[in-house]
Structure 1
Amino acid sequence: MGKAVTNNDSQISYLKNRLEMFIEVIDHLDPEHADLEDIDRLIQMLDDMEVKVEQFKKDESTVE
């Protein structure tokens, strides 16, 4: 596993990287050949990013 992302700059960088990966997956996805598994993977990626955003928001509120 990777190191915990604790400071604001690292958190933003982490989210940007995850978003770039998401966009890459979408760019390489052939809509005519995409199946339910592909769509589920995209939804899971979005859900994972949402969890991280909420975690980072919670971490930020405990620091203040």
Structure 2
Amino acid sequence: MDTSQNKDQVVELKNRFNQFLETLEAIEPEKTGLQEIDRLIMLLDELEEQMDSYKK
């Protein structure tokens, strides 16, 4: 894997993580349901899988 491809992958992961953080910051804890929490957990799982695939 070349350096530019690695950089692109890191940028993509950073962008997705920033999107996750923005979503997390926008949530009102008192009004958040289990579905929203499950969706956030799924997003984290997807980020972890993507990161693991880039390591290989």
Could you tell me the TM-score, scaled by structure 1's length? Answer: 0.79
Matches within 5 A, 1:26-45: 26-45=24-43
Counterpart of 2:23 (choices 18, 21, 25) is 25
**1:41 maps to amino acid:** R
Q: Gapped runs of 5+ residues in structure 1?
A: 1-5, 59-64
1:28-58 C-alpha deviation (Å, 9 max, x unpaired): 0000000000100100000000000110001
Q: Distance in 1 between matches of 2:19 and 2:39?
A: 12
Q: Distance in 2 between matches of 1:55 and 1:7?
A: 13
Task: Using the aligned pairs only, state the percent identity.
Answer: 40
State the aligned residue count.
53
Q: Gapped runs of 5+ residues in structure 2?
A: none
Q: Secondary structure at the match of 2:28?
A: coil
Runs of 4+ displaced beyond 6 Å: none
Could you tell me the TM-score, scaled by structure 2's length? Answer: 0.90
